[in-house]
Structures are given as C-alpha cells and as structure tokens.
C-alpha cells in the first residue's frame, strides 16, 4: 500500500505516532521508518477453539471416572492427556505469535510505502490514514491506469486508415501484402498484425 503525504516527514510521523498511541499501539520512529506495534497477531477463533475442544475432551474423560469407576483407566487417561495437550498447544500458539505491526517507509517524497503484518494491522492503518485524509494531511496513492492494449482488429483498422492516405483505394492490397510477408516467416495472422502495428507505431 502507498500514500502521499502533504506534510513534512517529521510532522507525518508525529501525527502517526499520536493516532496509533490513541489506539493503544506502541509507536516508534527509527530514522526514515515509522513502526507501530500492537498485541499478538493471533487468530482468536482458532486459539479459542483449541481451548474449548481441550476442555470438552477432558470433561468427557472425567465423567466416566465419576459415574462408572469400573471402566478401564488407560483410555480415559489418554483422552484427558490429549485435552491437556490441546491446551498446551493453544498456549504455545499465543506465546509464539508475532506482534501485530505496521511499518511506514518513505520511498520518494511525498510517496510512502506501508507494510503490515496482517489484515487487522491493515485495517488499523486505514483508519489512521482516513483521519489524516480528512485533515488534508495525506491521501491514498492511486496507480495510474495503463491504457488497454488495442486488439488486432483495432490495429488493423488504424493501419488500413494510414495506408489509405498513401495508397488510396489500393490500401487494403498493400496492407495484405505486408502481412503475407510476415506470415511467410511463420507468424500467425494475429501475430503479423501486431508485429506490423508495432513497426508502424500502432500497437502498445
């Protein structure tokens, strides 16, 4: 993601620091790089599912012990251990997760590059960028759209029109003769039209 800044870098980074600090993030500036970090970047649903599943497995492994003590213990202990293992895995997943992060780097004045660790970090930055845009301090950067490449039919019509100015009513015959030369070199008709169009400046 890229955006344009309408204010100097020092002021921009100060504005970003202020906005992210209001959200509870930890902003810092390292030279020409702005970094903001939040809590762990984890999938809360996945972590919660592991905890709940572990609890359910442990509960079902303990119930038979309470109400039917004559059942063999090894299978029940195995189920209980598996539930405990799921809890440990969920804890390790949360503990080992990286922190959510947003990084802003100046690429060329006034253009800045934004890198984020996940979609929540992206959403947080977009909220900040929207506030800066409302204050007319920054604006999203839109890539200039590339013109669509003309179709072979469009190129042919342009070449035919140009040939008509040179050869009059014989334009089509002269154009077809040029295309046949290229086709004899192994090009398909479409490839020949594109090749001749590029030569004459009609193809992108």
pLDDT of residue 41: 46
Per-residue tokens: 175: 């154009």
For the whole model, what pTM was predicted?
0.47
147: in domain: no
Domain end marker among 80, 96, 112: 96
Q: Is residue 145 domain-resident?
A: no
Residue 180: per-residue pLDDT: 93
Please report the pLDDT score of residue 86 as a whole number: 60
Task: For residues 69 and 165, give the distance between their C-alpha atoms in angstroms, rounded to a whole number.
Answer: 102
Residues 69 and 165 in one domain: no
Whether 48 and 22 map to the same domain: the answer is no
Residue for token digits 């490839």? 191
Residue range(s) defining the domain that contains residue 52: 44-96
Contacts of 87 (CB under 8 A, 6+ apart): 50, 51, 54, 55
| pLDDT tens track for 7-64 | 888 899 999 999 888 888 889 998 888 999 885 544 555 656 656 666 666 566 666 5
Q: How many domains does the chain have?
A: 3
Tokens found for residue 113: 């590059």
Q: Are residues 103 and 36 in the same domain?
A: yes
CA atoms within 13 A on the CB side of 165: 5
Assess whether 37 and 104 both reside in one domain: yes
- pLDDT score of 72: 58
**Mean pLDDT, the chain cut into blocks of 10 residues (204 residues total):** 86 91 88 81 56 64 58 58 61 56 82 82 87 87 70 87 80 90 92 86 60
**What sign results for the dihedral spanned by CA atoms 40, 41, 46, 48?**
positive
CA 179 to chain CA centroid, Å, is 43
CA–CA distance, 155 with 175 (Å, rounded to integer): 12
Handedness of CA 60, 65, 67, 70 (dihedral sign): positive
Q: Are residues 14 and 108 in the same domain?
A: yes
């Amino acid at each position: 993601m890229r955006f344009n800044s309408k204010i100097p870098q020092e002021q921009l980074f100060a504005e970003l620091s202020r906005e992210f600090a209001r959200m509870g993030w930890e902003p810092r500036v390292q030279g020409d790089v702005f970094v903001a970090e939040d809590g762990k970047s984890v999938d809360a649903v996945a972590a919660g599912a592991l905890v709940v599943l572990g609890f359910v497995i442990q509960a079902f492994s303990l119930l038979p012990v309470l109400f039917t003590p004559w059942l063999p213990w090894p299978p029940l202990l195995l189920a209980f251990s598996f539930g405990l293992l799921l809890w440990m895995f969920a804890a390790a997943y949360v503990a080992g997760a990286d922190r959510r992060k947003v990084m802003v780097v100046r690429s060329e004045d006034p253009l800045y590059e934004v890198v984020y660790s996940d979609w929540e970090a992206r959403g947080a930055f977009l909220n900040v960028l929207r506030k800066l845009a409302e204050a007319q301090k920054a604006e999203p950067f839109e890539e200039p759209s590339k013109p669509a490449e003309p179709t072979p039919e469009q190129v042919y019509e342009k070449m035919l029109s140009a040939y008509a100015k040179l050869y009059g009513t014989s334009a089509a015959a002269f154009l077809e003769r040029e295309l046949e030369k290229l086709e004899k070199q192994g090009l398909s008709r479409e490839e020949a039209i594109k090749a001749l169009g590029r030569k004459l400046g009609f193809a992108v």
